Structure 1
Amino acid sequence: MKPGKTRQGIIQAFNAAIEGILYTFKFERNMKIHYLLSVVVLIVSLFFDLSKSEMIMLLMSISLVVISEMFNTAIEKTVDMITDEYHVLAKIAKDVAAGGVLVAALNSVVVGYILFYDKLTELSVKLIYTIRQSELHITLICIVLVLIAVVVVKALTSTGTPLKGGMPSGHAALAFAIATSITLMTERVVASTLAYIMAVLVAQSRIEGKIHTFWETVAGALLGALIAILVFQVGAFYS
């Protein structure tokens, strides 16, 4: 084989691989979520003094989730190409592939917990102590401001109704505002984690109910969390 053909074959192989990565990002919703969370985790890791072995564990966990999702997509497309009718073996193939993604995702959660729990506990105690110097009634003010902000943004974007649909998700905004308020009023990482899990479930229910898109719930979550932090900071400044 000539050297030129060998180089061309390598280039084509790389192009095909990159096209596969881009396809999953463009057309697979779960992959978008995986990439978003990966970017967030990697950015957060920059603020912690992770050792080389800890960084390797983090990168391996992220890579495992992405690879599993890509294999899952490949298996789904292959099954769909072979048959468009229901078949028990086709269902088993898709379910097993999806199960592999779930195992990889759970593994990444456990690894993240092991790596960040102690570091986040120390940091959150210091950060929360400076922010939470405020009265409990600030939480009520926060909720009211979130609701007003949601209605205003929906009016500006002319989407949905004040209580349903549109940009941003009011339920997600309120859920994450409450979760953030709980975080800022307590030093317990477990309580904060449970609050955010409930907030994520609220946002997920809006997506599953086809009331909001993924990005509408993300916008609502960011809006609610940021308003809560701002309100508590202002309250701490004047207390």
Structure 2
Amino acid sequence: MTKRTFLQSVGDALAGVSATWRTQRNFRIQAGLAAALPVGLAWLRPPLVLCVLCLVMAMLVLAAELFNTALERLADHLHPEHHPAIGAAKDCAAGAVLLVCAGAGLVGILTLVAVLADR
């Protein structure tokens, strides 16, 4: 295996994000919400720690979706026909995304409650 430069590695990572953007509707929705988040935070003006927590949760959602997509693509490539064990693995990955999304939603709701309670 050839040694890759940092910029080549970044390019590969961006290619993965781009491929996921093109093929995964949920990723595009989640990325749109993440892009709108700074505007909402600027409008609400919550404490800095809550801003950071919201932004970290948004990035975790996107990362979880990328991991899920990677696992699904690899599984589909290695075993194109349906297999119960592969289906279960894909379901677990999707469940992980769901849990991270639920956590992000909860953080968002609690941030909103905290901001409204201070007004």
Q: TM-score, normalised by structure 1?
A: 0.46
One-letter amino acid matched to 1:85: E
- Separation in 1, partners of 2:117, 2:19: 38
Aligned partner of 1:53 in structure 2 is: 49
CA RMSD of aligned residues (A): 1.9
Give the distance between the partners of 2:5 and 2:115, measured in 1 at CA. 47
User: Is 1:38 matched up with 2:18?
Assistant: no
- CA separation in 1, counterparts of 2:38 and 2:112? 12
Letter in 2 for 1:102: L
Q: What is the identity percentage for the equivalent residue pairs of Structure 1 and Structure 2?
A: 26
TM-score w.r.t. the length of structure 2 is 0.89
Partner-residue secondary structure (3-state), 2:56: helix
What amino acid is aligned across from residue 47 of structure 1 in structure 2?
A: W
The 5 Å alignment of 1:162-181 reads none
2:21 corresponding residue in structure 1: 25
- Structure 1: which amino acid aligns with 2:54? L
Q: Partner amino acid for 1:21?
A: V
Q: Equivalent of 2:102, from 77, 81, 106? A: 106
Counterpart of 1:68 in structure 2: which amino acid? A
Match of 1:93 among 85, 89, 95: 89
1:46-85 equivalence runs, <5 A: 46-85=42-81
Aligned residue for 1:47, secondary structure, equals: helix
- Aligned to 1:86, the other structure's residue is in SS state coil
For residues 37 and 116 of structure 2, what CA distance do their matches in structure 1 show? 13
Q: Is the 8 A contact 2:30 2:61 kept in 1?
A: yes
Rounded to whole Å, the distance in 2 between the matches of 1:84 and 1:22 is 23
- Aligned equivalents of 1:47 and 1:14: distance in 2? 33
Residue 179 of structure 1 is matched in structure 2 by none
Which protein has the larger Cα radius of gyration, Structure 1 or Structure 2? 1
Q: Secondary structure at the match of 1:46?
A: helix
- Which has a greater percent of helix? 2
Unaligned regions of 5+ residues in structure 2, if any?
Answer: none
User: Offset of 1:122 from its aligned partner?
Assistant: 7.6
